[in-house]
Amino acid sequence: MSRQPARIAPPLLALILSAAPIASAPAQERAGPDPAEARLDAISVTAEGAAPVPAIGPAASAGYVGGVTGIGGPLLTVDAASAGIITGAQINSRPVTRPGEVLEAVPGLIMTQHSGEGKANQFFLRGFNLDHGTDIALFLDGMPLNMRTHAHGQGYADINFLIPELVGAVEFHKGPYFVRDGDFASAGSVRIDYLDTVRQNLALTSIGSFGYKRALSIASAPLAEGNLLVAADAQVYDGPWTVPDALRKISTVARYSQGTALDGFSVTGMAYAARWTATNQIPERAVVSGLIGRYGTLNPTDGGDTARFSLSGRFSATDETGITRASAYVIRSQLNLFNDFTSFLNDPVSGDQFHQLDQRIIGGGEALHIFQGDLFGLPMETEIGVQTRTDSIRVGLFNTTNRQYRSGVLDDRVLETSGAFYIDNRVRWTDWLRTSLGVRADGYSASVVSDNPANSGRARDGIVNPKLGLTLGPWFDTELYVNYGGGFHSNDVRGVTARVDPTSALFNTTRSPFLVP
């Protein structure tokens, strides 16, 4: 069956009734000097567990528009009951034992950890197992965290470098209904923003059970016409295991910023490194027979190490036409992961441990402008944006014994590039009717150079997704949302170009599609 390079993805339809109190106090009265609070100028706090609801009516003179907050007139984005914003203060008002728990503030999102504290979380949302990030798009300060064509799984998203105390706001969308969301956002997206400054400098140490120790320091100070913020977070943890988890990690952040989220800029550098021993699943029969205890392991050398370095910047400006925002980033990351899921099943002598290697450099950015005006006297906004990303990747799989190389399975070089264009038009037709009509187009191109020439090749694909939002109300403190849209995720491009199975050397006639609606 032939496939066209561009197509319309089958959309999803959601009809959700949201009953929540609508804010009536002027937004400016709630705003404070904290950037995290400024992001919520026009957001009312709803009942516990409910999504925040935009303020409606003449009092709402600021709005969260296109990922930025500010003076936007009486028109707000046409949202959904499955979208909202959570402040950093709300997140840090309850204990956080690991970075992944920050995202559990998103209603319905569950984070689990397996194979060691340094490995990416397992994500579950709305009853779907999203693996390590295949169908939930994660961003930090505009940088994508999902890794495509990854050694351990498509969309692998490691957030263990996150410093919870620096979180200023978390914006979440559930469902493929929003034009800014592209790859990996079929089930939803989460955007995390760090603070530019802190009111008070912070230094703390924490000591807990099972060898848990943590040291954290955050400081900010005026510099020239802006502010400099620096932070460092170091942590060790052994856990209850017979062979200690032996997590050792450090995460650092340095940011210089000027102005505000609407008129200003920032430059941020981040560095992170971690190593750990895996706590993998074990055979029940090995425990029953007494070979190992419940907290034991058959291979004490399973585990891994990872490192991440990034430099990013953002710029925003407001003029008489509307709001302009741009961001760019470059990321270098590396992962070495050693696992042994089948013990001695395939190789009774040397064991079945394997090494997954992922090294990459990622560069990209986003630019958008929100035009504010009117349509026959009706308030209207039109958002136009472009996004781009390029990954230069080395991805490998090797057979090992006690982390020592024995033989190679594959060792590939991949260059993968994508670009997206989107447009979204929002109109307030009456006091009780707002609409949003948008479309998003994505294009992908990749080349694979494999150690097996039969698996080398090039691939291209494209996809177009419509987006529609309708907001009715409020009536009796209730709004009705109707949302319609399509989403997609990309596949590991090696599965698109491969002709030979690298594990069996058998000819493979079944190739994966590049983009999956």
The model's pLDDT over 400-455, given as tens digits with 9 standing for 90+, comes to 999 999 999 999 999 999 999 999 999 999 999 999 999 999 999 999 999 989 89
Predicted confidence band of residue 26 (pLDDT cuts 50, 70, 90): very low
What span, in angstroms and rounded, lies between the C-alpha atoms of 214 and 231? Answer: 13
Residue 5 belongs to a domain: no
β partners of residue 471: 434, 481
Whether the pLDDT of residue 346 is over 90: the answer is no
pLDDT the model gives residue 508: 67
Whether 347 is covered by a domain: the verdict is yes
Is 440 domain-assigned?
yes
Residue partners of 10: CB distance under 8 A and separation at least 6: 486, 517
Q: How many domains does the chain have?
A: 1
Is the dihedral angle over the CA atoms 122, 128, 133, 136 positive or is it negative? negative
pLDDT at 35 over 90: no
Cα three-residue angle 23-27-30, rounded to 5 degrees: 95
Choose the weakest-confidence range: 64-78, 149-163, 198-212, 278-292: 64-78
> 10 Å Cβ neighbour count for 384?
17
Strand ranges of the sheet holding 109-112, from the earlier edge strand across to the other edge: 109-112, 122-125, 128-129
Residue-level pLDDT at 77: 62
Asked whether 335 and 306 are in contact (CB, 8 A), the reply is yes
**Mean pLDDT value across residues 252-271:** 95
Strand-pairing partners, residue 9, are none
Give the range of the structural domain holding residue 447, as residue numbers without chain letter.
12-516
pLDDT value at position 493?
96
Q: What is the pLDDT of residue 114?
A: 79
**3 in any annotated domain:** no
State residue 420's pLDDT score.
Answer: 98
Residues 385-392, mean pLDDT to the nearest whole number: 98
CATH of the domain at 166: 2.40.170.20
Within the chain, what is the greatest distance between any pair of CA atoms? 79
Q: Note the Cα 372 to chain centre separation in Å.
A: 29
Q: Identify the pLDDT of residue 505.
A: 65
Asked if residue 4 is part of any domain, the answer here is no
pLDDT in tens, 299-333: 899 999 999 999 999 999 999 989 999 999 999 99
Mean pLDDT of 345-368: 93
302 belongs to a structural domain:
yes
Residue at 393 is within a domain: yes
Burial of residue 170 (number of CB atoms within 10 Å: 0-12, 13-18, 19+):
buried
What pLDDT is recorded for position 29?
A: 30
Return d(Cα 232, Cα 214) in angstroms, integer. Answer: 11
User: Residues 96, 175: contact at Cβ < 8 Å?
Assistant: no
**Eight-class DSSP state of 94:** S
Is the confidence at residue 8, as pLDDT, over 90?
A: no
Query: Averaging pLDDT over each range in 37-46, 73-82, 99-108, 358-367, which range is the top one?
Result: 358-367
Helix (H) or strand (E) holding 494: helix 494-497
- 92 versus 506: the higher-pLDDT residue is 92
- For residues 342, 344, 350, 355, the Cα torsion angle rounded to the nearest 10 degrees is 0
Query: What is the secondary structure of 264-282 as a DSSP string?
Result: EEEEEEEEEEEEEE-----
pLDDT tens, 109-168? 999 887 778 899 999 998 889 989 999 999 999 999 999 999 999 999 999 999 999 999
At residue 65, the pLDDT reads 35
pLDDT at 62: 28
Residue 500's pLDDT band (boundaries 50, 70, 90)? confident
Tokens of 104: 């559990």
pLDDT value at residue 282: 85
395 forms beta bridges with 358, 412
- List the structure tokens of 343: 């013990």
Cα separation of the two ends of the chain: 16
User: What are the tokens at 358?
Assistant: 């992922």
pTM, full prediction: 0.85
- Mean predicted lDDT score pLDDT of the chain: 84
Burial-class residue 471 by CB neighbours within 10 Å (0-12, 13-18, 19+).
Answer: buried
Residue 7 in domain: no
